[in-house]
Amino acid sequence: MAQVHDSLNQLLQDMWVDYCDLNPEAKRIYDLLKAEGETLENDHIALRTFKHPKLGIQSLANIFLKMGYQEKQDYHFPEKKLYAKHYEHNDVHQPKIFISELKLEETSDKLQKVISSIINEIPSTALADPKFTLSGRHWKIHYNTYESLAQESEYASWVYAIGFRPNHFTINVNALKKYSDLKNLNAFIQNAGYRMNNSGGLIKGSPNLYLEQSSTMAPEIPVQFTEGTYKIPGCYYEFAKRYRLPNGELYQGFVAASADKIFESTDRLK
Ligand code: NI
């Protein structure tokens, strides 16, 4: 079991390094809070995929299930045509894993055609690799295709351009001392010059829902398309504060209405 633990810690560390590469802001925010004397814990990591027999939530979850994770709750996002599940480790100090998928059968024929062609490019060996969740893209990308996908689904265009890499990491706000109030933390992040997601208000959720969340807006990063290099949204940093259920346990699930707004943290600048 110790060995499984080591490989999980290694995978999570590799995912953090890959994520910081896509979101250099995250490391700067992490360092800023460290400099304030804070202890940083990771509440959850989010991954995105497409609902497809070869590639759905289950395919991405398998590696975590082998490493001691268990499936917990599922969530529906009808407007964005998304579905998600979250997984928890039996060691409560390990981050939760939140995996979402775009329900392709509800999207246009045009979108389905593009996505099934890129899925066909993924070698089965890549899918079997324990590091698939940071393997990136397995296909060539065209900027005009990216733009047309984004018209229909910002989510689809993000996965098309970025591939399989961590979408976000999340600071466990409960573990902070000076900034354990999400409002204060948000003010600190904004004062440091970072742009935050204001869709549905800065704070999504409430103590009544046992979860409050906020996030930065994903900063743009240069991505190489066949037509040249374009700047597009990469990854964002999330902040989650959890509250106790009537039974005294800290709520470990998610709130669909809040997550729905958090997904917009990778939307292109309007
Ligand atoms: Ni999240």
Per-residue confidence at 6, pLDDT binned at 50, 70, 90?
confident
- Distance of CA 227 from the midpoint of ligand 1 (Å): 32
Among 3-7, 107-111, 119-123, 198-202, the least confident range: 3-7
pLDDT of residue 128: 87
Residue 217 CA to ligand 1 center (angstroms) comes to 13
Token pair, residue 56, equals: 């759905």
The pLDDT of residue 48 is above 80: yes
Interval 132-184: pLDDT, tens: 999 999 999 999 999 999 999 999 999 999 999 999 999 999 999 999 999 99
- What's the pLDDT band for 28 if we cut at 50, 70, 90? very high
- Distance (Å) from CA 226 to ligand 1 centroid: 31
- In the reported structure, the alpha carbon of residue 96 is separated from the centroid of ligand 1 by a whole-number distance in angstroms of 10
Residue 228 Cα, ligand 1 centroid: separation in angstroms?
A: 31
Predicted model pTM: 0.96
The CA 215 to ligand 1 mean position distance, Å, reads 8
Which range, of 2-16, 101-115, 178-192, averages the lowest pLDDT? 2-16
Kindly report the three-state secondary structure assignment for every residue of 155-218: HHHHHHHHCECCCEEEEEHHHCCCCCCHHHHHHHHHHCCCCECCCCCCCEEEHHHCEEEEEECC
H-run or E-run covering 46? strand 42-50
pLDDT at 2: 61
SS (H, E, C) 106-166: HCCHHHHHHHHHHHHCCCHHHHHCCCHHHCECCCCCCHHHHHHHHHHCHHHHHHHHHCECC
pLDDT digits (tens, 9 = 90+) for 172-225: 999 999 999 999 999 999 999 999 999 989 999 999 999 999 999 999 999 999
The mean per-residue pLDDT over the stretch 100-106 comes to: 98
Q: pLDDT tens across 70-86, in order?
A: 999 999 999 999 999 99
| 267 CA from centroid of ligand 1 (Å) | 15
User: How far is ligand 1, taken at its centre, from the CA of residue 3, in Å?
Assistant: 28
> How far is the centre of ligand 1, averaged over its atoms, from the C-alpha of 260 (Å)?
10
> How do residues 216-259 score in pLDDT, each as one tens digit?
999 999 999 999 999 999 999 999 999 999 999 999 999 999 99
- Dihedral of CA atoms 13, 137, 225, 47 in degrees, nearest 10, equals -60
**What is the 35 CA–ligand 1 centroid distance (Å)?**
24
Average pLDDT, the chain: 95
